[in-house]
């Protein structure tokens, strides 16, 4: 060790046992972290994304909530349990679920925009999402009995394959 130190701040999110966080991304629009709940207690039949402001003097932000019943309208299982989240530059939130083997797009108000199943052979356990500057979607899969991997889906027509 070289003895270097960096300043840091520990913050109690206040989520306690109410939210099992399984995904985290930074939302520049709200200057907040988006924390996707894999499970919520008590279960209210809603998907919850908490918005945690980075400024400790700022008040709490309302969470984004999606009634699970709305997931069926895009062909997804209402038991969708997020394992990763990202927010794009337009404010669309993309959530992945390793359990449901699917991607879900929602807006900041919690409206369901689209859903897409993931091919299990290609994505055995998605646990990470990212978007590159040229809008390629990156999915990372845990080992889950096979080699862990990262898959990049190009945003340009004709390149890559559907997840």
With a cut of 50, which residues of the chain have pLDDT below it?
Answer: 160-161
Q: What is the DSSP letter of 60?
A: P
- pLDDT at res. 59: 87
CATH of 16-126, picked from 2.40.50.100, 3.40.50.300, 2.130.10.10, 1.20.1560.10, is 2.130.10.10
- Note the pLDDT of residue 120: 84
pLDDT (0 to 100) of residue 1: 65
Alpha-carbon span 95 to 146, nearest angstrom: 23
Query: What local confidence, expressed as pLDDT, does residue 31 receive?
Result: 95
Q: What is the pLDDT, as a whole number, of residue 128?
A: 95
Instruction: Report pLDDT digits (tens) over 110-150.
Output: 999 999 999 888 898 999 999 999 999 999 998 777 788 99
Cα gap 68→82, rounded to integer Å:
12
Instruction: State residue 10's pLDDT score.
Output: 85
| Residue 162 buriedness (CB in 10 A; 0-12 / 13-18 / 19+) | exposed
The most distant pair of C-alpha atoms in the chain lies apart, rounded to whole Å, by: 55
Please tell me the distance from the alpha carbon of residue 57 to that of residue 61, in angstroms, as a whole number. Answer: 12
Parallel/antiparallel/unpaired status of strands 84-87 and 93-97: antiparallel
Backbone φ/ψ region at 75: left (φ over 0), alpha (ψ -120 to 50), beta: left
Extents of the domains making up the chain: 16-126
Q: How many angstroms separate the Cα of 27 from the Cα of each of 4, 88, 101, 160?
A: 29, 9, 25, 27
């Amino acid at each position: 060790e070289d003895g270097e130190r960096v300043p840091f701040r520990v913050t109690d999110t206040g989520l306690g046992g109410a939210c099992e966080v399984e995904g985290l991304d930074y939302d520049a629009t709200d200057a907040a972290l988006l924390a996707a709940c894999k499970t919520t207690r008590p279960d209210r039949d809603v998907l919850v994304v908490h918005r945690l402001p980075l400024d400790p003097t700022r008040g709490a932000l309302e969470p984004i909530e999606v009634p699970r019943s709305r997931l069926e309208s895009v062909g997804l299982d209402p038991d969708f349990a997020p394992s990763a989240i990202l927010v794009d530059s337009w404010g669309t939130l993309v959530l992945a679920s390793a359990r449901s083997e699917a991607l879900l797009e929602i807006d900041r108000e919690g409206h369901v925009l689209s859903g897409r199943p993931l091919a299990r052979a290609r994505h055995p356990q998605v646990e990470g999402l990212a978007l590159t500057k040229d809008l390629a979607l990156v999915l990372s899969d845990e080992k889950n009995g096979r080699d862990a991997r990262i898959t990049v889906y190009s945003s340009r027509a004709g390149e890559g394959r559907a997840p």
